[in-house]
Structure 1
Amino acid sequence: MQKKSFTLSEARQKLEYYCSYQERCHNEVAEKLKRLNMSSEETDEIIVHLIQHNFLNEERFASSFSRGKHTIKHWGKVRIANELKFRNISKYNIDKALKEIPQEVYLQHFHALAEKHWETIRETDPVKKKKKCCDFLLRKGFESNLVFEKLKDLENGNR
């Protein structure tokens, strides 16, 4: 079965729409073009067009990604940074994006999430309960020093 092929202008139009309804990184756009059977020269030409016409902007993508993942999924900075690195976003853009999350808001989300999760764990063994909570918070991408300090407080009954 032959995949449908697109002309350069059709593919450009398709990708403009693809980038206009959600922020995208260069990797996502390149993958989409590969699925559309575009040659590497056509892919480069379309990506340049998207950047020049401000459909594609990695700094904007990184900022949007970090704000969204922190606000909606309550991810920590470690996980956000790792996910952005996985998408080949530059260290400069990652650092800039992480600075957009206000520290007070970040800590509020962290403390609320930790306390809520601590209360939901039904484990009676305090060591196992602490480990489960620790694993959860580290998986969410919060810094280990924050996690260990918070677990000490929760274990001692402090909030």
Structure 2
Amino acid sequence: MDKKSYTFIEIKQKLVNYCVYQDRCHAEVEQKMREFTLIPEAKEEILLYLLQENYLNEERFVRSYIRGKFYIKHWGRNKIRINLKQKQISEKLINACFDEIDEDDYFKTISKIFEDYYSKQSGLKEYQKKSKAIKYLMGKGFEYEIILQIMES
């Protein structure tokens, strides 16, 4: 397929729209830029513009990502961390933004997921139901220690 050629201004506008539609991280914007034929200087200029005009804000991206993945998808911190690292987000920034998740909400969510999942297991021995539930919660990215705490309470 032939790449339609756009002017610098059009490409810049497309990238602004891309960032306005939803928060993006640097890696996503750089990936998007690869769709266009741009010299390194032009890429730099667009990236700088997006940052200066606050269309691209890595901390805002991380915060909204964490909120969405936890409050909507019910992912645990481990899964969120792994996915953010794949987007080349620094450990420091990830840790600084985890305060987006309320501790109480975190525990309540794990409890609810545990109870829902556990109650659906039938025809299994107690320990089998528990170990399946632990595996399920760990798969969603919740920490083993916290899962155990919740199961004991």
Is the partner of 1:38 in helix, strand or coil?
A: coil
Do structure 1's residue 90 and structure 2's residue 86 form an aligned pair?
A: no
Q: Secondary structure at the match of 2:34?
A: helix
- Hey, what does 2:134 align to over in structure 1? 134
Question: What is the aligned partner in structure 1 of residue 102 from structure 2?
Answer: 102
Q: Which amino acid aligns with 1:87?
A: K
Higher RCO, 1 vs 2 (CA within 8 Å, ≥6 residues apart): 2
Structure 1 partner of 2:22:
22
**Structure 1 residues not aligned, in runs of 5+:** 154-158
**1:135 & 1:6 partners in 2: Cα distance?**
49
- Distance across 2 between alignment mates of 1:65 and 1:120: 30
Tell me which residue corresponds to 2:119.
119
Higher mean alpha-carbon deviation, 9-18 vs 82-91, is at 82-91
- SS of 2:124's equivalent in the other structure is coil
TM-score, normalising length from structure 2?
Answer: 0.92
Counterpart of 1:48 in structure 2 is 48
RMSD (Å), alpha carbons = 1.5
Residue 84 of structure 1 aligns to which amino acid in structure 2? L
TM normalised by structure 1 equals 0.89
In structure 2, runs of 5+ residues without a counterpart are none
Query: What is the CA-CA distance between 1:127 and the residue it aligns to?
Result: 3.4
- CA–CA distance in structure 2, aligned partners of residues 5 and 144 of structure 1: 51
8 Å Cα contact 1:123-1:129 kept in structure 2: no
Aligned to 1:156: none
Give the Å deviation of 1:148. Answer: 2.4
How is 1:70-81 mapped onto 2 (pairs within 5 angstroms)? 70-81=70-81
Q: 2-side partners of 1:123 and 1:135: how far apart?
A: 18
